[in-house]
Structure 1
Amino acid sequence: MRQPYWTNNHSTLYLGDAREVLAELPAGSVDCLVTSPPYYGLRDYGVEGQYGQEPTPAAYVETLRATFREAWRVLADDGTLWLNLGDSYAANSDGWARGADYNPHQPAIRPRSRLAVPPKNLLGMPWRVAFALQEDDWILRNAIVWHKPNAMPQSVLDRVSTRYEMIFMLVKQRRYWFDLDAVRVPNAGDPPPAPREADETASAPDGKYRDDQDAFRGKHYGTSMRPTGQRHTAAHARGKNPGDVWSISTRPLRAAHFAAFPIDIPLRAIAAGCRPGGTVCDPFAGAATTALAAQQLGRPFIGIEISEPFCDLARARIVADTASRQGRRRSEGD
């Protein structure tokens, strides 16, 4: 087993290829995977072996498929995978692929002749990956639309602008850890829910395991639930199910990693899909946004990143966040 690039009492960072590092982690050692791999053909990070610069969509899908086969082994049987992927287009009329964040000094190079579809085609990359993972026995439980209210404008005149990305929730078996109460949205007029102690969830009846038939077996956390009738239509006392459209604004990061997703996404994924004290892993750690969310929610974190500069950025952000939290605790103690 390789040595960590950096570690503290909460987080461990590994420098290397996601698939290779995952292959060295113990089986069942992770309770929740939250990650956003490099999107196909949109950015060149200048790192040998980087993901996203495969010559064809099929090659990109196979790269991720092989990586998540290792993730399957590492993930606990009752764990969850939250996978954020954006789409991309086939080459433009000049023969080169350019994403929404196109940088003329660092184009994503993808020759038109290597693609099987005419230029300007939306490739459907998120769904290609999701279907490939289904073929590997992952269970696709949700296709969540991440709506971006503040999405960057796009200089296109022959189509509408893109305002969303996909977040797929996948699991290994029908019964898995899922705490809906942790991510409920307050009903109109209700005050925000008070934070719960971590052990309250851990001691709940039958844990927080659900499968797709539990609601119709009268196992709705100790209450009866039927597909019709007043109980079915009444508002839940703890708030609404957040649904599969998440309106979450992007949060630009002034550091080098300009594609970091907002911390609100891993906060919600970890709260719902990781048992208290369970280990969170991000195989494409980038700027360590998932690490900061895991730290905020009291879960240990393992991150993998192929770029050494990004590992340094991740370490700096974790250290700064840790110092900030310690300072607040000292201040509150006074």
Structure 2
Amino acid sequence: MMQPYWTNGQATLYLGDAQEMLAELPAGSADCIVTSPPYYGPRDYGVPGQYGQEPTPAEYVETLRQTFSQARRVLADDGTLWLNLGDCYAANSDGWARGRDYNERQPATRPASRLSVPPKNLLGMPWRVALALQEDGWILRNAIVWHKPNAMPQSVLDRVSTRYEMIFLLVKQRRYWFDLDAIRESYTGDRPVPRRARGGCSRAIDGKYTPEVDAICGKRHGAAMMATGRRHAAANERGRNPGDVWSISTRPLRAAHFAAFPIDIPLRAIAAGCRLGGTVIDPFAGAATTALAARQLGRPFVGIEINEGFCDLARARILAATAQAQGEETETG
């Protein structure tokens, strides 16, 4: 039985390789997995066995496929996996390829990739991984675009700047736990009447179904169809579906590695994809952002991290958040 690096009863951290640690966890012990593995190649953390430094994109994809095969075993049958991944290029705009310094101006810090595409190609790594997981038996339910309104500017002149990353929602079976009401958003502005409420007519006046439109398109369906039509056309009183484009600003964390994603992402994923009291797992815990979201929503957390420094940082952040919450409860109590 593996021993945790640290635990406070609500959150538990394990130090080690994600794939190996997942293999030790009981089957079906997680209700939700929210994670962001190291992307392919941008940083060398100097830790043996680290992910993201594989020689080729294919080997990186295979590493994650094997890791999430173990994650699939650990995930409950009705659980959800939320996977955040960013993309990369075969070389930057100066011609510096992955693993090579063509101009010999700086040492190579990226893996010595043997690529099958010319330099400057966008590699499509998130989709390579997602499709590999799909072929491995996962059901790909959503490809969510995380739009970054405050994305860092890029010094490129021959393409547009990248301002988004992907978040994939994957599940094990057709029926799974998903609470849409928990993440609905408030309506803003006038909501146009859906096509279904207009009897299938694609034309309207000022976005509304009117007698004038009746004259152009014909009457709506008969009384037998009206109840169903109204039910589908009506705005949900709890709010609207947030859709698959999430505009969420990044939140830099100086104490952590640069890739820490904002807490808003795991907050939304856990609220929608984890039953009350269910356990949340992050196999690439990093700075424990997912742990903080799980604590805030009252879900137990299990994190795995290969870097001991990040484990210490994660523990410190969890303890600080817990102390702050207890202090606020004391003040309001």
- Shorter-chain TM-score tier: 0.7 to 0.9
Secondary structure of residue in 1 paired with 2:34: strand
Q: Deviations over 1:89-140 (max 9, x none)?
A: 1034233369xxxxx988632335x111100000000000000001111000
After TM superposition, the structure 1 = structure 2 runs for residues 253-264 of structure 1, keeping only pairs within 5 Å, are 253-264=253-264
After TM superposition, the structure 1 = structure 2 runs for residues 35-74 of structure 1, keeping only pairs within 5 Å, are 35-74=35-74
Q: 1:23 to 1:163 in 2, by over 3 A?
A: same
The ranges of structure 1 where at least 4 consecutive aligned residues each deviate by more than 6 angstroms after the TM superposition are: 225-228
Secondary structure of residue in 1 paired with 2:311: helix
Secondary structure of residue in 2 paired with 1:249: coil
Identify which of 87, 94, 97 aligns with 1:95. 97
Give the distance between the partners of 1:150 and 1:301, measured in 2 at CA.
29
Q: Report which of the two structures shows the higher radius of gyration computed on alpha carbons.
A: 2
- Residue identity matched to 1:81: L
1:44 touches 1:106 (CA, 8 Å); kept in 2? Answer: no
The residue aligned with 1:184 is: 184
1:89 touches 1:97 (CA, 8 Å); kept in 2? Answer: no
- Residue 131 (1) aligns with residue 131 (2): yes
Give the distance between the partners of 1:96 and 1:27, measured in 2 at CA.
38
1:35 touches 1:82 (CA, 8 Å); kept in 2? Answer: yes
Give the distance between the partners of 1:12 and 1:108, measured in 2 at CA.
33
1:143 touches 1:168 (CA, 8 Å); kept in 2? Answer: yes
Identical positions, percent: 79
The residue aligned with 2:170 is: 170
Q: Deviations over 1:163-206 (max 9, x none)?
A: 0000000000000000000000012379xxxxxxxxxxxxxxxx
The residue aligned with 2:275 is: 275
- Residue 288 (1) aligns with residue 288 (2): yes
Q: 1:95 to 1:226 in 2, by over 3 A?
A: farther
Q: May I ask how many residue pairs the two structures share in their alignment?
A: 293
Give the distance between the partners of 1:226 and 1:97, measured in 2 at CA.
63
Q: 1:152 to 1:26 in 2, by over 3 A?
A: same
- Residue identity matched to 2:31: D
- Residue identity matched to 2:109: A
The residue aligned with 2:195 is: none
- 1:254 deviation in Å? 1.2
The residue aligned with 2:109 is: 108
The residue aligned with 1:250 is: 250
TM-score (norm 1): 0.84
- Residue identity matched to 2:110: I
Give the distance between the partners of 1:73 and 1:107, measured in 2 at CA.
37
After TM superposition, the structure 1 = structure 2 runs for residues 218-237 of structure 1, keeping only pairs within 5 Å, are 229-237=229-237
The residue aligned with 1:13 is: 13
- 1:32 deviation in Å? 0.1
Give the distance between the partners of 1:140 and 1:296, measured in 2 at CA.
27
- Residue identity matched to 1:260: A
1:183 touches 1:242 (CA, 8 Å); kept in 2? Answer: yes
The residue aligned with 1:210 is: none
- 1:227 deviation in Å? 12
TM-score (norm 2): 0.85
- 1:25 deviation in Å? 0.2
- Residue 318 (1) aligns with residue 309 (2): no
- Residue identity matched to 2:67: T
- Residue identity matched to 2:96: D
Once the two structures are overlaid, the 10-residue window that deviates more, 123-132 or 84-93, is 84-93
Q: 1:107 to 1:248 in 2, by over 3 A?
A: farther
- Residue identity matched to 2:172: K
Secondary structure of residue in 1 paired with 2:166: strand
Give the distance between the partners of 2:283 and 2:315, measured in 1 at CA.
15
Q: Deviations over 1:33-60 (max 9, x none)?
A: 0000000011111110000000000000
Q: 1:256 to 1:105 in 2, by over 3 A?
A: farther
1:292 touches 1:321 (CA, 8 Å); kept in 2? Answer: yes
- Residue identity matched to 2:2: R
Give the distance between the partners of 2:30 and 2:162, measured in 1 at CA.
34
- 1:2 deviation in Å? 1.2
The residue aligned with 2:82 is: 82
